[in-house]
Structure 1
Amino acid sequence: MENFKRLIQYLRPYRVRVGLSVLLMFVVTLSAIPMPLFQKQVLDVAIPNRDSALLWRIFFGVIGLSALRGVVSFTLNYLISWLGQRVVFDLRFQSYRHLQRLSLAYYDGRQPGKIMARLTGDIDVIQYALTQGFVYLITDLATLVIIIGWLFYIEWRLAVIALITLPLYVVNYKLLLGRIRPVSVELREKWEQMLAGLTEKIGAIAVVKAFAREGFEESEFIKAERERFVIGMTQTRLNRILGASSQLIRMLGTATLLWYGGGLVGMKEMTAGKLLAFYSYLAYLYDPAVRVVDFNVQLQWASAAIERVFETLDTRPEIIDAPDAAYLPTVKGAIHFDHVSFGYDPANPVLHDIDFKVNPGEIIAIVGPSGAGKSTLVNLLARFYDVSKGRIFVDGHDVRKVRLETMRRHIGLVSQETILFSVSLRENIRYGRKDASEADVVAAAKAADLHEFILSLPDGYDTKIGEDGIKLSGGQKQRMAIARALLANPRILILDDATSALDSHTESHIQAALAELMKGRTNFVIAHRLSTILNADRILVMQDGRIIDQGTHTELSARPGLYQDLYNEQFKTVQDLTDEEKARLLEAVS
Structure 2
Amino acid sequence: MVHGHGARADLAGGLDDLPKRPIARKTLARVARLYRPYRTALITVAGIILISAVLQVAAPLLIRQIIDVAIPNADRRLLVWLTGGMIGIAAISGGLSLGTNYLNTRTGLTVMEDLRLAVYSHLQKLPLSFFTSTRTGDLQTRISSDVASTQLMLTDTLGTLISSSVIVIASVIAMLVISWELSLVALVTVPIFAGAMLSVGRKRRALTRETQRTLSDLTSRTGETLSVSGVILSKTFGREADQLDQFRENSSRLTVLSLRQAMTGQTFFVVMQTFFTMAPAIVWLIGGYILTG
CA distance in 1, matches of 2:56, 2:236: 66
TM-score (norm 2): 0.81
Once residues 60 and 66 of structure 1 are traced to their aligned partners in structure 2, the CA distance between those partners, rounded to angstroms, is 10
Cα distance between partner residues in 1 of 2:113 and 2:78: 51
Report the counterpart of residue 5 of structure 2 in structure 1.
Answer: none
What SS does the corresponding residue of 2:264 show, helix, strand or coil? helix
Residue 29 (structure 2) pairs with residue 9 (structure 1): no
- TM-aligned CA distance change 1:76 to 1:189, over 3 Å: same
Partner of 1:224: 250
Specify the alignment match of 1:164 in structure 2: 188
CA separation of 1:57/1:221 partners in 2, compared to 1, >3 Å: closer, same or farther? Answer: same
> Residue 75 of structure 1: SS of its match in structure 2?
helix
> What does the per-residue CA deviation read over 1:53-90, in whole Å, with 9 as the maximum and x for residues that have no partner?
23332343233222221222222222111221121111
**Contact in 2 for aligned 1:172/1:245 (Cα 8 Å):** no
Distance 1:238 1:68, change over 3 A: same
> 2 CA distance for matches of 1:252 and 1:63?
27
Counterpart residue type for residue 102 of structure 1:
L
1:100-499 counterparts in 2 under 5 A?
100-204=124-228, 206-207=231-232, 208=234, 216-247=242-273, 250=276, 253-267=279-293
Tell me how far 1:216 sits from its aligned partner. Answer: 4.8
Which residue number in structure 2 is paired with residue 67 of structure 1?
Answer: 91
SS in structure 2 opposite 1:11?
helix
Contact 1:165 1:250 in 2 (8 A): no
Q: Distance in 2 between matches of 1:77 and 1:181?
A: 25
Following superposition, the deviation at residue 149 of structure 1 comes to: 1.2
Aligned length: 267
Contact 2:50 2:166 in 1 (8 A): yes
1:263 to 1:52, Cα distance in 2 relative to 1, 3 A: same
**Separation of aligned partners in 2, 1:104 and 1:142:** 49
* Equivalent residue number for residue 115 of structure 2: 91
Q: Matches of 2:216 and 2:99 in 1, distance apart? A: 36
SS in 1 for 2:43: helix
CA distance 1:255–1:59, shift in 2 (3 Å): closer
Cα distance change on mapping 1:61 and 1:142 into 2, 3 Å: same
Contact 1:31–1:65 under 8 Å retained in 2:
yes
* Residues 57 and 170, structure 2, Cα contact 8 Å, conserved in 1: no
TM-fit CA distance, 1:157: 0.4
The letter of the residue matching 1:233 is: L
- Separation in structure 1 between the aligned mates of residue 43 and residue 253 of structure 2, nearest angstrom: 44
Written as runs of structure 1 = structure 2, the 5 A alignment for 1:510-521 is none
Residue matched to 2:66: 42
* Bigger relative contact order (CA 8 A; separation at least 6): 2
1:53 matched to 2:77? The reply is yes
Structure 1 residues 132 and 176: CA distance shift in structure 2, 3 A: closer
Which shows bigger deviation, 230-239 or 161-170? 230-239
Equivalent position of 2:3 in the other structure? none
Q: Matched residue of 1:145: which SS?
A: helix
RMSD of Structure 2 on Structure 1 (CA): 2.4
Structure 1 residue 191: Cα displacement: 1.2
The residue aligned with 2:55 is 31
1:165–1:249 Cα contact (<8 Å) kept = no
- C-alpha contact (below 8 Å) 2:225/2:231 kept by paired residues: no
| Deviations 1:9-30 (CA, angstroms, capped at 9, x unpaired) | 1111222222111111101111
Q: Aligned partners of 1:206, 1:233: CA distance in 2, in Å?
A: 31
Distance 1:249 1:105, change over 3 A: farther
Give the CA deviation at 1:177: 4.2
Shift of 1:141: 0.7
* Aligned-partner Cα distance in 1 for 2:166–2:207: 30
Q: Which amino acid aligns with 1:243?
A: F
CA shift, 1:151, in A, is 0.7
Does the 8 Å contact 2:52/2:96 carry over to 1?
yes
What is the TM-score normalised by the length of structure 1?
Answer: 0.42
Q: Distance in 1 between matches of 2:76 and 2:235?
A: 80
Structure 1 185/151 Cα, relative in aligned 2: closer, same or farther at 3 Å? Answer: same
> Are positions 1:22 and 2:43 aligned together?
no
Cα separation, 2, equivalents of 1:192 and 1:70: 40
**Match of 1:110, SS?**
coil
Q: Does the 8 A contact of 1:161 with 1:256 survive in 2? A: no
* Partner Cα separation in structure 2 for residue 138 and residue 24 of structure 1: 11
CA distance 1:174–1:135, shift in 2 (3 Å): closer
What CA distance in whole angstroms lies between the structure 1 residues aligned with 2:240 and 2:66? 71
Q: Which has the larger radius of gyration?
A: 1
Higher mean alpha-carbon deviation, 70-79 vs 104-113, is at 70-79
Q: Shift of the alpha carbon at 1:163?
A: 0.8
| SS of residue in 2 equivalent to 1:33 | helix
- Alpha-carbon distance between aligned partners in 1 of 2:250 and 2:70, rounded to the nearest angstrom: 65
Q: Distance in 2 between matches of 1:258 and 1:229?
A: 45
The SS at the match of 2:71 is helix
Label 1:252 to 1:55 Cα distance change in 2 as closer, same or farther (>3 A). Answer: closer
The answer to whether the 8 A contact 1:172-1:246 is kept is: no
CA distance 1:247–1:6, change in 2 (3 Å): same
AA matched with 1:67: A
Q: Residue 550 of structure 1 corresponds to which residue in structure 2?
A: none
